[in-house]
Amino acid sequence: DTGVSQNPRHKITKRGQNVTFRCDPISEHNRLYWYRQTLGQGPEFLTYFQNEAQLEKSRLLSDRFSAERPKGSFSTLEIQRTEQGDSAMYLCASSSSGTAYEQYFGPGTRLTVT
C-alpha cells in the first residue's frame, strides 16, 4: 500500500490552456474523490466516483471541468480554457466501505494559472 498518488505535483499554465491531472488511489479503494483547496480555506468537494461511475458533481464544477475514472482505478481531472480563478490545490482522496469511508488524501496538485 503506497497511498494515494497524484501527478503532476505542480503545474504552471497560461490562461486559456487545458490541463489534466491524474490520481492513483489506494488499490483496494472503490471510491475516489476530487477536492479543490484555496489558500486559507478548507477543501471544497468537486466530484466523486464509486468504481467507474461518477455519482455526484458539485455545482462548483463548471462545464470546463471534467473527471473520468474509466476502469475504476486511476482518475483524471481535466480543466479546459483555464482561468486565473482556477489557481488552487487540487486534492484527490480515496476510501472503501470497510473503513467507514474514511478518506485518505494524496499530496495534491498545485495549479497556478498566469
Per CB under 8 A, 101 contacts other proteins:
yes
CA distances from 16 to 13, 51, 66, 83 (A): 8, 31, 16, 6
Per CB under 8 A, 35 contacts other proteins:
yes
Per CB under 8 A, 108 contacts other proteins:
yes
- Peptide bond between residue 8 and the one before it cis (omega within 30 degrees of 0): yes
Q: How far is the CB of 44 from other proteins (least distance, A)?
A: 7
**Residue 91 cell numbers, joined:** 486534492
32, 77, 79, 91: residue in contact with other proteins (rule CB under 8 A): 91
Please give the Cα distance from 59 to 56 (Å, whole number).
Answer: 10
Which residues make up the interface to other proteins (CB under 8 A)? 33, 35, 40-45, 48, 56, 91, 93, 99-108
